[in-house]
């Protein structure tokens, strides 16, 4: 249980990754399900520290501003199995879902300008992820969709939702959006918009622009001096797709709570069909 959160903790149940059964805690703010007119699903970053509650204050603010808001801030770190025995949950924490960077030229661009010792550390970290991380972003996207679709019952006619993602979950969430756009169907048609903070989706293939253009509205926060997800390398594809980037232009890879003002206005202004 997350100490200090005013959200109502609810255990969500869902199946994925070969029909394994899982549970995970969601912290809900605002309206009851039957009274909700706006549904928002938020996912934290990879660490179990302050990032874990990044979206909780936004959930509180939205619930106070609109009695129809139902806001779920998932706690992916709480993922567990059900009473039905399985060991898959042991490798389903956020830190277990990462994509590799196979493009050496891209990696060199990402570390350009860094001191040699930091480049070496980044290379060692990447090698460690490549050799030890058991799951990739594609599988993470499957888990995320199951949390939303089965755990919350959202992403279908009458229950569209918006997505809030940050850093690590920006990669998982973007992969889910890519897959949903390609697949089509009810889930894709019932995504209303996205709030994205410096997404660690390391793709320059054009898939971001192809996915987001003429589909859903997107607002973003991304500092120009972000040392972890370089704005200069990855932001333009979101801009080209119509995303609006607001908030602080400097400050690195921070939580930027001041971005919540723009996120709140954006989410309240979305049409939830």
What are the structure tokens assigned to 204, written together? 């320059």
What are the structure tokens assigned to 27, written together? 């912290």
pLDDT tens series, the chain, 273 aa: 788 899 999 999 999 999 899 999 999 999 999 999 999 999 999 998 888 999 999 999 999 999 999 999 999 999 999 988 899 999 999 999 998 777 788 888 887 887 888 888 888 877 887 788 899 999 999 999 999 999 999 999 999 999 999 999 999 999 999 999 999 999 999 999 999 999 999 987 799 999 999 999 999 999 999 988 999 999 999 999 999 999 999 999 999 999 999 999 999 999 765
The pLDDT of residue 272 is 65
**Whether residue 171 sits in one domain with residue 112:** no
The pLDDT of residue 12 is 98
Count of domains forming the chain: 2
**H helix or E strand, kind and range, residue 76:** strand 69-81
C-alpha dihedral sign at 126, 198, 92, 18:
negative
Please state, in angstroms and rounded to a whole number, the distance separating the CA atoms of residues 6 and 108.
Answer: 44
* Among 163, 183, 158, residue whose Cα is nearest residue 173: 163
The pLDDT of residue 144 is 98
**Whether residue 198 sits in one domain with residue 114:** no
Of 132, 155, 185, which marks where a domain is finished? 132
**Is residue 148 assigned to a domain?**
yes
**H helix or E strand, kind and range, residue 226:** none
**Is residue 3 assigned to a domain?**
no
Question: Is 169 exposed, middle or buried (CB count within 10 Å of its CB: 0-12, 13-18, 19+)?
Answer: buried
**Whether residue 117 sits in one domain with residue 72:** no
The pLDDT of residue 273 is 52
Please state, in angstroms and rounded to a whole number, the distance separating the CA atoms of residues 156 and 154.
Answer: 6
Structural domain that includes position 181:
8-98+135-269
**Whether residue 52 sits in one domain with residue 26:** yes
**Whether residue 20 sits in one domain with residue 40:** yes
CATH number at residue 231: 3.40.50.1820
**Whether residue 145 sits in one domain with residue 20:** yes
**Is residue 51 assigned to a domain?**
yes
SS3 at position 69: strand
**Whether residue 161 sits in one domain with residue 106:** no
**Whether residue 259 sits in one domain with residue 143:** yes
**Whether residue 187 sits in one domain with residue 88:** yes
The pLDDT of residue 103 is 79
Ranges of H-type helices in the chain: 56-65, 104-110, 116-132, 137-146, 168-183, 186-189, 207-212, 231-240, 259-269
The pLDDT of residue 205 is 78
The pLDDT of residue 167 is 96
**Is residue 1 assigned to a domain?**
no
**Is residue 83 assigned to a domain?**
yes
**Whether residue 112 sits in one domain with residue 171:** no
The pLDDT of residue 139 is 97
**Whether residue 171 sits in one domain with residue 160:** yes
**Is residue 110 assigned to a domain?**
yes
- CA neighbours closer than 13 Å in the CB half-sphere of residue 3: 2
**Is residue 2 assigned to a domain?**
no
* Among 45, 35, 97, 96, residue whose Cα is nearest residue 73: 45
Query: What angle separates helix 259-269 from helix 56-65, to the nearest 10 degrees?
Result: 50
**Whether residue 73 sits in one domain with residue 43:** yes
């Amino acid at each position: 249980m997350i100490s200090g959160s005013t959200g109502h903790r609810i255990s969500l149940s869902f199946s994925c990754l070969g029909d394994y059964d899982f549970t995970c805690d969601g912290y809900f703010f605002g309206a009851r399900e039957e009274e909700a007119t706006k549904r928002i699903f938020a996912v934290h970053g990879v660490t179990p520290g302050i990032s874990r509650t990044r979206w909780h204050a936004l959930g509180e603010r939205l619930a106070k501003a609109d009695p129809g808001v139902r806001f779920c801030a998932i706690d992916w770190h709480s993922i567990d199995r059900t009473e039905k025995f399985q060991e898959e949950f042991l490798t389903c924490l956020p830190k277990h879902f990462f994509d590799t960077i196979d493009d050496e030229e891209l990696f060199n661009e990402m570390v350009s300008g860094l001191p040699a010792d930091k480049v070496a550390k980044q290379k060692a970290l990447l090698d460690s992820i490549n050799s030890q991380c058991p799951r990739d972003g594609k599988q993470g996207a499957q888990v995320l969709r199951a949390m939303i679709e089965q755990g919350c019952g959202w992403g279908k006619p009458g229950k569209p939702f918006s997505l809030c993602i940050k850093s690590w979950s920006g990669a998982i969430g973007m992969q889910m959006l890519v897959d949903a756009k390609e697949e089509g169907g009810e889930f894709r048609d019932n995504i209303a918009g996205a709030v994205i903070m410096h997404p660690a989706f390391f793709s320059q293939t054009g898939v971001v622009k192809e996915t987001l253009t003429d589909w859903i509205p997107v607002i973003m926060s991304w500092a120009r001096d972000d040392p972890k997800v370089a704005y200069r390398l990855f932001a333009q594809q979101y801009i080209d797709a119509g995303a609006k980037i607001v908030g602080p232009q400097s400050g690195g890879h921070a939580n930027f709570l001041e971005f919540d003002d723009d996120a709140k206005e954006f989410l309240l202004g979305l049409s939830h069909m």
